[in-house]
Chain A
Amino acid sequence: MRKTHEGDARVSEKEEKEKGRFIFERGYIDSERIIEPEKLELGGVDMSGRWGTLVLPRTIEQFDHTLFEEVKKLPGGKNIHRCWQCGNCTAVCPVAHAHPEFNPRYLIHITKMGYKTEIKKFKEYVYLCSGCGRCSVACPRDVDPKGVMSALSILFQRGV
């Protein structure tokens, strides 16, 4: 009776593994890049499942800064444009040491450049940020990564 939210309509963990299981070098390919149709047919020929699988290329073709402009408007995200990817924030971040998937520098960079597939992969980890503020203290450019993380937490809930 309650409507679910686009942000969480994630394919459950089990299905993730299943996709492209027959690919020999499956380990090298991100799940986001595999399109495996349940039902696919052309001219009477059934190509569902393995026979219709496509693997999208990793090439980045477009830098899209719309998200980046959005973050600047959200609380805490004012100075994201100052980030020059030096990695000071990740260095002092207690969460990053415990969870390699959470990397504030990386989250800032992929949002700034608009790499949608990367954002899809790492967006759920932004909530691990405990808001301790050590990164904002350490940042040489006063980007306030803690603020940016809170802005990203909001932004990623809009469904990227």
Chain B
Amino acid sequence: MDLNSVFPRELVTVLVVLFGSLCFALFYFRVRSWKVPFYPFYVVSQRSFKVFVENFLLLKRVGLWCEERAHTLSRALVLYGFFALFVCSVANYALNTSALTPLKPQNPLAILSDASSALVFFGGFSLLLRRLLNKRRREVTHADVWCVQALLSVFGATGALYPFFGGFVGITLYALHFVFLFLLLLVAPFTELAFLVWKGSFLIYKESRVSA
């Protein structure tokens, strides 16, 4: 019983697309509920891509004033991890015509996607830990932040571990990996992530417009 029969390729893609668009729609309506422009629409331009790369990926803007190195690092881990994981999955989907079977460990793409999952885990979990350990920080953290960080951690963990377990355990881990992804997609629009994405896109929009 291999993953292919359990998770036919078509089912997985449909679910991913479905939850993805649902997440985007929820995100759109939440931002509109704030009665502010939905900047992601206005951001798609060559200029803004360069600004995105410079400010976000190179952490010029995101981490600039976080004095705690660890905090910036964990945020970067989550960011890069998720981004890399997304790229790997798409590549894996494109290259491998059969289902999203767990790749044999020695396949380079598998190692890469596994590593990026691990990155997401380490990023998310360190954020979670940072909040758990400090009493005062625990008190001021809202539910949505706990939720997102927890989901990121388990999502990363399951994604990283499933290739090492064969059989039933591997499959459940793999299934859980997707369940957490979908949960994450559903919950994200109602958490601080929504604001961060909106603010990020606004800053990119502002940056690209002013210098344009």
**Interface residues of A, Cβ cutoff 8 Å to B:** 2, 4-5, 7-8, 74-76, 94-95, 98, 127-128, 130-134, 136-137, 139, 142, 144, 147, 150, 153-154, 157-158
- In whole Å, how far is A141's beta carbon from the nearest beta carbon of chain B? 11
Which 9 pairs across A and B sit closest by C-beta, in order of nearness? A157-B36, A130-B65, A136-B140, A94-B65, A94-B67, A95-B65, A132-B66, A154-B34, A150-B195
- Interface residue total, chain B, C-beta cutoff 8 A: 29
Assuming the contacts A127-B203, A132-B67, asked whether A5 and B37 have C-beta atoms less than 8 A apart, the reply is yes
- In whole Å, how far is A118's beta carbon from the nearest beta carbon of chain B? 21
Taken together as a complex, chains A and B put the C-alpha atoms of A13 and B196 apart, in Å, by 28
Contact of A157 among B71, B140, B202 (CB under 8 A): B202
Taken together as a complex, chains A and B put the C-alpha atoms of A57 and B185 apart, in Å, by 51
Taken together as a complex, chains A and B put the C-alpha atoms of A157 and B32 apart, in Å, by 12
In the complex the two chains form, is B136's CB within 8 Å of A137's CB? yes
Q: List, sorted by A's number, 28 A–B pairs whose CB atoms are closer than 8 Å.
A: A2-B42, A8-B209, A75-B34, A75-B195, A94-B67, A98-B65, A127-B199, A127-B202, A127-B203, A130-B63, A131-B196, A132-B67, A132-B71, A137-B134, A137-B136, A137-B140, A139-B140, A142-B139, A144-B142, A147-B142, A150-B192, A150-B195, A153-B195, A154-B34, A154-B195, A157-B37, A157-B202, A158-B35
Q: Mark B156-194, 1 if CB is under 8 A from A, else 0.
A: 000000000000000000000000000000000000101
Interface centre among A2, A7, A127, A133 (most CB of B within 10 A): A133
Inter-chain contacts of B139 with A (CB < 8 A): 142
In the complex the two chains form, is B192's CB within 8 Å of A76's CB? yes
Contact of A8 among B35, B67, B206 (CB under 8 A): B206
Taken together as a complex, chains A and B put the C-alpha atoms of A154 and B136 apart, in Å, by 27
Inter-chain contacts of A144 with B (CB < 8 A): 140, 142
Chain B residue nearest to A147 in the complex (CB): B142
Inter-chain contacts of B203 with A (CB < 8 A): 127
